[in-house]
Structure formats: structure tokens, C-alpha cells
């Protein structure tokens, strides 16, 4: 792998829960609990998992929108984990985000052209005619007409609004875009257009994406590598073809068994997961998946499986591939 654009090591985000008038501590939500991954230049790494698994919190923590509890975040080799808002400013140009709901992430009182041009203004990169030309160019790149720069967000369709969000994210020519469920609020036909736009832009600009999604068909289409999350931890990570062709972790196997196949005559054996996702306030001891895993055996209840390479280029956290005592949690 080339030197990573984003490198996250042992990242944790724990939220204290307080209750009552005196705001007494009532526990901790272990939303992200020791996650490590890298995103290479020009690569798309997708984070997948059921809702509540911590993938959006992880994306926002990596973006430094939420303060991490511990761990490190490196952007092109620079440790940005503890930088102040001001110190973070130059790095913001390299790191942009696209949100799930384009309507609520766009200021309804601003014209689309001003929304897209705002990052250029904030970073003092261009103004006047130069800024206007740059914004018009960004509109054209995302498939909008420059004449639409004068319109307000409510005058656009959902797909067009997401295109405005993408143009705004591109304004500073970032190296990495973190996309948090960028198409899940859109109609299926529009989803394909936006996904193809993101892929075209990646080819043209060498962009990297950290792509958060729960729709595995979309993930299979857009990703180079896939990381599967369960209860705040990555449980499997590999190239897309390995995860989809030969999933090793029982949780990934269950997730993939629910994806419909394109040929209606070919049926996949569904593996229905038993029970609910445990509370991230009270994760089970040992393997966090043992309460729902059809293959659970004795060590799973007490020994945390180490996340390690279990096949070439294929990492998983599961005792089925050899019980290894995990290093002590810090
Ligand atoms: Fe299932 Fe045990 Fe593997 Fe966890 S470690 S996924 S419980 S077999």
C-alpha cells in the first residue's frame, strides 16, 4: 500500500452517560472501541455494519468533528489527533465530508453557488470573478448547470442537493472525502447516479474515500477494501473481492447472506442472526458477537479474539481461526 492518506490507530470514542439532576455517571457507551485502519491514495475503504455499530461515530471522530477518547489519527503522516480547531484549519483542506441528508447539511437561506464557494472564502483561496469561475467549474464537474448557482437548496431534487454537497466538498481539492451514508436518503435510481459520479471523480482526481454505508450492494460497487464493524470494533477487513467472495467472520457471513443475488433463480442460504445487538453500554465479555454467533464455543465467552491476519491480506477477529490471547485492553 502507498503511504496512507488517513491512518487511524487504536481509536476509541467513549461517551459518558449521566443521569438525574446531579448528572451522576450512569455508565459509558463504547461507541468506537479500539479501531485501526488505513486509507491509501485513490482508494475507497467502506465501513459497513448494522445501524448502531459505531461506523458514523468512527467517521466523525476520524474527521475530528468529535474529540477521540484515545488513539491516533494521522493525515498524510501528520498526527492531527489533538490539534486545536485553529491548528486543524490547514488540514481541513485535505479532509472533507459528505453527509447523509443533503437538505439539512445545506443552509436553506444561501444560494447554491454561495454554498459551494463558501470553503474558498473561509480559506481565503479566491474571491470575485475567480471564485465565480471556480464554482461554475465545480457545478459542471458534478453535473449541475452553472445557471443553477443562483437557486436555493429547496429548488433542487434530493440527488441534485447531494451533488451540491459533493461540489462543496471538492472546492478545496481535498485528498480524502469521508462520506457518511451519502446515498441512503436518495431514490434507488438516483443512488446509482451519485455513486457513479463519486467513482468518476475518484478516477479524475485520485481521491480517497472513507465510505460509510449499510447497503452492501452499494459497498460492493464502490469499494476497494471493506471493513466490517460490530459493537464499535472492526471484526473483518480485506479487499472487497475477499470479503464478498470468502467472508471469514460469522457476522460478515450473516450480513452477506441477506444480500439478494442478481439472478432470481439462484438462492443464497440466509443465516438469520438470533437476538438483538447488545447495548454498546454493556458489551458482552469475550467476543462481542458470541451472544448471536451460531459457531460460538467455550473461549468465545471469555477471551477477546485478537484482530489479526488469518489469511494473506485478510484480517478478522474470530477464534475459529485459532484462539490467541488478545493483548490487554488499555
Ligand atoms: Fe463466533 Fe467465537 Fe468467532 Fe466470536 S470468536 S465470531 S463467537 S466463533
DSSP state of 44: E
Task: State how beta strands 314-316 and 308-311 pair.
Answer: antiparallel
Contact 252, 320 (CB under 8 A): no
Closest ligand 1 atom, residue 305 Cα: 5
Mutation choice for ligand 1 from 233, 290, 291, 310, CB with most ligand atoms inside 8 A:
290
Low-confidence ranges of the chain (pLDDT < 70): 1-2, 260-272, 323-330
Q: Where are the domains of the chain?
A: 6-83+212-316
Ligand 1 atom 7: the closest Cα is on which residue?
A: 290
Quote the CATH superfamily of domain 6-83+212-316. Answer: P-loop containing nucleotide triphosphate hydrolases (3.40.50.300)
Q: Is 304 in the pocket of ligand 1 (CB under 6 A)?
A: no
Ligand 1 atom 3: the closest Cα is on which residue?
A: 318
Instruction: Report pLDDT digits (tens) over 93-118.
Output: 899 999 887 778 889 999 999 999 99
Q: Is 303 in the pocket of ligand 1 (CB under 6 A)?
A: no
Q: Given this model, what pLDDT does residue 103 score?
A: 75
Contact 91, 75 (CB under 8 A): yes
Q: SS3 for 244?
A: helix
* β-strand partners of 28: 16
Q: Which residues contact 169 (CB under 8 A, 6 or more apart)?
A: 96, 97, 98, 177
Residue 21 Cα to ligand 1 midpoint, Å, equals 41
Q: Which of 67, 33, 57, 5 is nearest to 206 (CA)?
A: 5
Closest ligand 1 atom, residue 250 Cα: 6
Residue 213 Cα to ligand 1 midpoint, Å, equals 24
Contact 131, 122 (CB under 8 A): no
Q: Is 295 in the pocket of ligand 1 (CB under 6 A)?
A: yes
Calculate the dihedral angle through the C-alpha atoms of 314, 316, 320, 321, rounding to the nearest 10 degrees. 40
Closest ligand 1 atom, residue 288 Cα: 4
Q: Report CA 216 to chain centroid distance, whole Å.
A: 13
Q: Which of 172, 109, 164 is nearest to 142 (CA)?
A: 164
Mutation choice for ligand 1 from 287, 301, 306, CB with most ligand atoms inside 8 A:
287
Residue 296 Cα to ligand 1 midpoint, Å, equals 5
Contact 149, 136 (CB under 8 A): yes
C-alpha cell at 213: 454505508
Q: Which of 321, 300, 302 is nearest to 312 (CA)?
A: 321
Instruction: Report pLDDT digits (tens) over 7-66.
Output: 999 999 999 998 887 788 888 999 999 999 999 999 999 999 988 899 999 999 999 999
**What distance in Å separates the CA atoms of residue 50 and residue 258, rounded to the nearest whole number?**
12
Question: What backbone torsions phi and psi does residue 67 show, to the nearest 5 degrees?
Answer: -70, 130
Task: State how beta strands 225-230 and 233-239 pair.
Answer: antiparallel
Q: Is 230 in the pocket of ligand 1 (CB under 6 A)?
A: no
End-to-end alpha carbon distance in the chain: 28
Mutation choice for ligand 1 from 234, 292, 296, CB with most ligand atoms inside 8 A:
296
Q: Which of 158, 266, 138 is nearest to 204 (CA)?
A: 138
320 exposed, middle or buried (CB, 10 Å; 0-12, 13-18, 19+)? middle
Residue 298 Cα to ligand 1 midpoint, Å, equals 10
Q: Report CA 46 to chain centroid distance, whole Å.
A: 6
Amino acid at each position: 500500500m502507498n503511504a496512507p492518506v488517513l491512518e487511524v490507530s487504536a481509536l476509541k470514542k467513549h461517551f459518558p452517560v449521566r443521569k438525574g439532576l446531579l448528572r451522576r455517571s450512569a455508565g459509558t457507551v463504547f461507541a468506537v472501541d479500539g479501531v485501526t485502519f488505513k486509507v491509501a491514495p485513490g482508494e475507497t475503504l467502506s465501513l459497513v455494519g448494522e445501524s448502531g455499530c459505531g461506523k458514523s461515530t468512527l467517521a466523525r471522530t476520524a474527521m475530528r468533528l468529535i474529540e477521540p477518547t484515545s488513539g491516533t489519527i494521522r493525515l498524510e503522516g501528520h498526527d492531527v489527533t489533538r490539534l486545536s480547531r485553529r491548528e486543524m484549519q490547514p488540514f481541513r483542506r485535505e479532509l472533507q465530508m459528505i453527509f447523509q441528508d443533503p437538505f439539512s447539511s445545506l443552509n436553506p437561506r444561501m444560494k447554491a453557488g454561495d454554498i459551494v464557494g463558501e470553503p474558498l472564502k473561509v480559506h481565503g483561496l479566491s474571491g470575485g470573478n475567480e471564485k465565480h469561475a471556480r464554482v461554475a467549474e465545480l457545478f459542471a464537474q458534478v453535473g449541475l448547470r452553472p445557471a443553477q448557482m443562483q437557486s436555493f437548496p429547496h429548488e433542487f431534487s434530493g440527488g441534485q442537493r447531494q451533488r451540491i454537497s459533493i461540489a462543496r466538498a471538492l472546492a478545496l481539492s481535498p485528498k480524502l472525502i469521508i462520506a457518511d451514508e451519502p446515498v441512503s436518503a436518495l431514490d434507488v435510481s438516483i443512488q446509482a447516479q451519485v455513486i457513479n459520479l463519486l467513482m468518476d471523480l475518484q478516477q479524475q482526481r485520485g481521491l480517497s474515500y472513507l465510505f460509510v454505508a449499510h447497503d452492501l450492494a452499494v459497498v460492493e460497487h464502490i469499494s476497494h477494501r471493506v471493513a466490517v464493524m460490530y459493537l464499535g470494533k472492526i471484526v473483518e477487513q480485506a479487499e472487497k473481492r475477499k470479503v464478498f467472495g470468502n467472508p471469514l467472520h460469522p457476522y460478515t457471513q450473516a450480513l452477506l447472506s441477506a444480500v439478494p443475488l442478481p439472478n432470481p433463480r439462484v438462492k443464497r442460504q440466509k443465516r438469520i442472526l438470533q437476538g438483538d445487538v447488545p447495548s454498546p453500554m454493556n458489551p458482552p465479555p469475550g467476543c462481542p458477537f458470541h451472544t448471536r454467533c451460531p459457531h460460538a464455543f467455550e473461549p468465545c465467552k471469555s477471551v477477546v479474539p485478537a484482530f489479526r491476519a488469518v489469511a494473506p491480506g485478510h484480517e478478522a477477529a474470530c477464534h475459529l481461526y485459532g484462539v490467541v490471547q488478545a493483548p490487554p485492553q488499555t
